[in-house]
Amino acid sequence: MRNLWIFISRYNAFFLFIMFFVVGIYLTVKNNAYQRSVTLNSSNEVVGTAYERLNVFKRYLNLGMVNDSLAAENAKLKSQLLKLTTIDTAKDVKVVDTVNNQQYTYLAAKVVKNSVTLRNNIMTINKGTVDGIKSGMAVIAPQRGVVGFIRDVSAHLATIQSLLHKDTKISVTLKKNHALGSLVWGDGNFDIKKAFVKEVPNHIKMYVGDTVVTSGYGSFPAGVLVGKISKANVATNDNFLSAELNLFTDFSTLQYVYVVKDKRADEQKALESMAKPNE
């Protein structure tokens, strides 16, 4: 120990230099936007390129399967073409039924109980099974913004599991580059005006100020405005990017909400349940 101390004090110029130099470099990289962007981006570029290479390789491996499916599709199209060329088109009358074709209808409901201060927030609205509300329906805010999902329904009331709940996950896309992600709230930040878009693939470039909309893959219709990105490229420990966004919905002042009825929800559910998992 004593020898070490003598060694350090003899070459103190060098050790002091290392110390101050590291602090200087740290300050440079930490506080200058350009230097920071370079150090972060170059590592991201490496990861992104690696993924791209891997994708090319995977695509090659899948060529056989793609070929088969294309051949099957070709056969189907050809048989359809055969059918069409033999049909008498002159007698075919087309009627476009716009009323029944509308997939989504909105039902306005009044919020009778609301909470925003808990970790898992649930609100109550004054519409129930009598009005055709079912569990799992999407709920959106009047002007713009998402609210959550219907949770339990009674005859005249229903509870909403709002976005401010640990189990709520909404599929969203970034408007500029159509990248998919999932919208969640919480996770270290319990500001009711902010949420996170998670699970965005690593090669996607996010932009501050970009609008986030729903993707239409869940029970939400596509294109419902969710919020604006306030902090892009938040690194997480997994292989995905995250972004922080400012929500358009103001949960603390919600008075009315719209429940979204999806005409084809049952049909979709029935169809999708046919596919067995792990098939």
Partner 1 sequence: MNSRIIIVNIVRWFLLLFVQIFLLKNMGFYDLSTPFIYVLFLLLLPFGIPNILLYSLAFATGLALDAFYDTMGVHATACVVLALVRISFISISLNRDAIDDPEPSLSYMGFQWFSLYTFLCVAAHHLVLFFLETFRLTEVGYTLMRCGLSCIFTLLIIFLVEFIFYRRTPR
Which chain residues interact with partner 1 by CB under 8 A? Answer: 12-14, 16-17, 19-21, 23-32, 34-35, 38
Place of tokens 């109550």: 124
Place of tokens 């056989």: 64
3-class SS at 75?
A: helix
Closer to partner 1 at the Cβ: 38 or 72? 38
Closer to partner 1 at the Cβ: 44 or 211? 44
Closer to partner 1 at the Cβ: 28 or 62? 28
Closer to partner 1 at the Cβ: 30 or 156? 30
Closer to partner 1 at the Cβ: 17 or 217? 17
3-class SS at 46?
A: helix
Place of tokens 């509308």: 102
Q: Cβ 7 to partner 1, closest distance in Å? A: 15
- Which CA distances in Å does 16 have to 12, 13, 30, 270? 6, 5, 21, 71
- Provide the 10 A C-beta neighbour count for residue 214: 22
Q: Which of 151, 196, 190 lies closest to 170, judged by CA?
A: 196
Tokens matching residue 56: 């090319």
Closer to partner 1 at the Cβ: 24 or 132? 24
Closer to partner 1 at the Cβ: 34 or 60? 34
Q: Cβ 49 to partner 1, closest distance in Å? A: 17
Q: Cβ 184 to partner 1, closest distance in Å? A: 34
Cα–Cα distance, 268 to 104 (Å, whole number): 13
Cα–Cα distance, 8 to 1 (Å, whole number): 11
Tokens matching residue 191: 């500001």
Q: Cβ 203 to partner 1, closest distance in Å? A: 22
Q: Which of 126, 115, 116, 158 lies closest to 150, judged by CA?
A: 158
Q: Cβ 3 to partner 1, closest distance in Å? A: 20
Q: Cβ 31 to partner 1, closest distance in Å? A: 4
Cβ burial of 173 (10 Å; 0-12, 13-18, 19+) is buried
Asked if 125 and 109 touch (Cβ cutoff 8 Å), the reply is: yes
Q: Cβ 62 to partner 1, closest distance in Å? A: 37
Q: Which distant-in-sequence residues (6+ apart) come within 8 Å of 43 by Cβ?
A: none
Closer to partner 1 at the Cβ: 13 or 87? 13
Q: Cβ 232 to partner 1, closest distance in Å? A: 21
